[in-house]
Amino acid sequence: MDTSRRGDEASETPAADLGKRARHRIAVEADILRVARRHLASEGAASLSLRAVARDLGMVSSGIYRYVESRDELLTRLIVDSYTSLAEAVRTAHDAVPPDDLGGRWSALGHALRTWALEHPHDFALLYGSPVPDYEAPAERTTEVGTAVVALLIALVEDARVAGRVPDPADAGIDASRASAAVGPMLDDAMFAGTDLDPVMLAQGITAWTLLLGAVTSEVFSQLGPVPDSAALFEVLLAASSRLIVISSPAR
Amino acid sequence: MDTSRRGDEASETPAADLGKRARHRIAVEADILRVARRHLASEGAASLSLRAVARDLGMVSSGIYRYVESRDELLTRLIVDSYTSLAEAVRTAHDAVPPDDLGGRWSALGHALRTWALEHPHDFALLYGSPVPDYEAPAERTTEVGTAVVALLIALVEDARVAGRVPDPADAGIDASRASAAVGPMLDDAMFAGTDLDPVMLAQGITAWTLLLGAVTSEVFSQLGPVPDSAALFEVLLAASSRLIVISSPAR
DNA sequence: GAAGAAATGTGAGCAGCGCTCTTGATTTTC
DNA sequence: GAAAATCAAGAGCGCTGCTCACATTTCTTC
């Protein structure tokens, strides 16, 4: 049905509207990812089963291999998907804050990260927990999308520098020469092209990020045992991390 | 061999010397744990298989269930084992530092944690990574031994308070009333019986611990991608965490 | 439109897994 | 020595990832 198109059959398939085979394929691939995400959310990555996904889709178990190379490849797709979802959530929250409200931007970033992690614990575990079963993430496909949220952090640090609201590194126990040796070479990376960061500020940013991610990890995996008011504890940790990269009033 | 003991056969088994059955059992249980630890170290928790352990021990696959209730129970034993190993490593390093060298104690603690984690990445993942396959750690058996290293942190914070070398919480962005609300109730816990901590200091200790654990997690799971000099970066992060709980000279 | 090529669905099958149960042998207890 | 507990061994169930041969359907090319 619905063959009402300028009948330029054969030859090119200009990716505009496709044959029923191609259409079916992208639909099935989307279905697989959708069902897999549902299974991931309810059961976790470790018990994700290709057979179960196929069963849910009403196809025979071997059929799914026409669309997915292997279980690991499905996991990779889920990782990319989760990174995208996380980056979008964080970016949306971040962009809703006025650019000159540096502290507010970091706070929004942190809260968005925490909220997303608590809402999608298994996705979070996939991204920031222990690497899955003898599965090494293929860097080409994950690092690029995985750096989206870190890019926000970098932009924030850069803006803090421009605004002269960078905290004194000595207050954070950061030694300039040490920091240079540790992260200096990282500044040559493509990610930092065009920025004007110095090693010390990058070190401060990494420290803040490490503390923030540690706080979220700790809560999602409940590493501290039962915490009476975990939201309040997060506020404390977030405030501490904030102090590492931006101070409330211009210094010096 | 070596039956040279007062031969009070039969009747009681006073746990001193046992029948051949009991002796065999504890030997086999130790073997199982040993082989399982080897598998864990080389392959990770997710691909740990009871059948493979049994095979390595030359026993038939079903035989291992005489000694281990289930796969989850084996994992629990490994967790307890790993906690013990970690606690011992950290404690040893910590106790080698003069008690009044507060910064040195924290540094030793941090370095020992990092070294242990890098040497036993899969064990570390078991303790501080994402929870294993639909497996919820039985709190009774793990929390007790899991708090050993945190106990060191608490003692350190306590000593810093006594020595009057506690940093100003405001420098770390910690608000007193917020901190009280967040962690105050935790002080009623049995772990803090006998200590004289206030909520703010506890919050500072937790912040430092979160940063330290985040730094180690980040490195072991390589969450930051390739880092040129990860050891130097750890020094920076460790120094930052140290500033959160102890300052170099007595204040006020 | 017919014919060949490519993509897709189906079912059987292999090896591995956790775990249970039965059967027969060994050790401990009485 | 008899009864009870312990253990080794094997068969078996249902699940997993993955492969292969085969039939069917769609796409491409003449």
The CATH number for A49's domain is: 1.10.10.60
Q: Measured between alpha carbons, how far is residue B218 from residues A114, A210, B159, B221 in Å? A: 17, 7, 29, 5
Residue B9, in any domain of the structure = no
Asked if the model's pLDDT at residue A196 lies above 60, the reply is: yes
Q: Do B127 and B109 belong to one domain?
A: yes
Q: Between B203, B221, B224, which is nearest A130 by CB?
A: B221
Of A33, A53, A68, the residue that ends a domain is: A68
The predicted model gives A160-188 an average pLDDT of 85
Query: A205: which residues sit within 8 A by CB, 6+ positions away?
Result: A153, A154, A156, A157, A197, A244, A245
pLDDT bin (cut points 50, 70, 90) of residue B210 is very high
Q: Do B128 and B158 belong to one domain?
A: yes
Q: Do B60 and B78 belong to one domain?
A: no
Q: What ipTM was assigned to the predicted interfaces of this complex?
A: 0.89
Q: Do B83 and B150 belong to one domain?
A: yes
Tell me if chain A has a CB within 8 Å of the CB of B192.
no
Q: Do B50 and B88 belong to one domain?
A: no
Strand D and A19 CB separated by under 7 Å: yes
Full domain range(s) for residue B44: 15-68
Residue A154, in any domain of the structure = yes
Task: Please count the structural domains in chain A.
Answer: 2
Residue A252, in any domain of the structure = no
What confidence score (pLDDT) does residue B8 get? 38
Q: Do A44 and A112 belong to one domain?
A: no
Strand D and A20 CB separated by under 7 Å: yes
Query: A78: which residues sit within 8 A by CB, 6+ positions away?
Result: A33, A36, A37, A40, A45, A48, A123, A126
Of B5, B39, B68, the residue that ends a domain is: B68
Asked if the model's pLDDT at residue A3 lies above 70, the reply is: no
Q: Do B19 and B64 belong to one domain?
A: yes
Q: Do B41 and B75 belong to one domain?
A: no
The predicted model gives A211-223 an average pLDDT of 95
Strand D and B34 CB separated by under 7 Å: no
Tell me if chain B has a CB within 8 Å of the CB of A14.
no
Q: Go through chain A and tell me how many residues it has.
A: 252
Q: Do B99 and B207 belong to one domain?
A: yes
Strand D and B13 CB separated by under 7 Å: no
What confidence score (pLDDT) does residue A181 get? 86
Q: What percent of chain A has pLDDT over 90?
A: 59
The CATH number for B188's domain is: 1.10.357.10
Q: Judge: A47–B131 Cβ closer than 8 Å, yes or no.
A: no
pLDDT bin (cut points 50, 70, 90) of residue A45 is very high
Chain B partners of A147 at a C-beta cutoff of 8 Å?
225
Out of A39-53, A176-190, B179-193, give the one with best mean pLDDT.
A39-53
Residue A184 CA neighbour count, 13 Å, CB half:
9
Bigger pLDDT: B26 vs A138: B26
What confidence score (pLDDT) does residue A178 get? 86
What digits encode the pLDDT tens for the residues B80-117? 999 999 999 999 999 999 999 999 999 999 999 999 99
Residue A185, in any domain of the structure = yes
Closest by Cα among A150, A168, A166, A152 to A206 = A150
Residue B5, in any domain of the structure = no
pLDDT bin (cut points 50, 70, 90) of residue B136 is low
Asked if the model's pLDDT at residue A169 lies above 70, the reply is: yes
Residue A179, in any domain of the structure = yes
Q: Do A22 and A45 belong to one domain?
A: yes
Residue B96: exposed, middle, or buried by beta-carbon count in 10 A (0-12, 13-18, 19+)? Answer: exposed
Query: B119: which residues sit within 8 A by CB, 6+ positions away?
Result: none
Residue B39 CA neighbour count, 13 Å, CB half:
23
Residue B235, in any domain of the structure = yes
Of B68, B86, B108, the residue that ends a domain is: B68
pLDDT bin (cut points 50, 70, 90) of residue B143 is low
Reported pTM: 0.90
Asked if the model's pLDDT at residue B5 lies above 60, the reply is: no
Residue B119, in any domain of the structure = yes
The predicted model gives A222-238 an average pLDDT of 91
What residues 161-190 of chain B have any CB closer than 8 A to a CB of chain A?
Answer: 171-175, 178-179, 181-186
Asked if the model's pLDDT at residue A46 lies above 70, the reply is: yes
Q: Do A96 and A62 belong to one domain?
A: no
Q: Count residue pairs from A and B with Cβ separation < 8 A.
A: 165
Average pLDDT, chain B: 86
What digits encode the pLDDT tens for the residues B160-182? 999 988 888 887 778 888 888 88
The predicted model gives B185-202 an average pLDDT of 83
Distance of alpha carbon B127 from alpha carbon A201, whole angstroms = 32
The predicted model gives B12-40 an average pLDDT of 81
Distance of alpha carbon A200 from alpha carbon A176, whole angstroms = 6
Asked if the model's pLDDT at residue A252 lies above 80, the reply is: no
Q: Do A82 and A149 belong to one domain?
A: yes
DSSP string, A98-146: -TT-HHHHHHHHHHHHHHHHHHSHHHHHHHHSSPPTT----HHHHHHHH
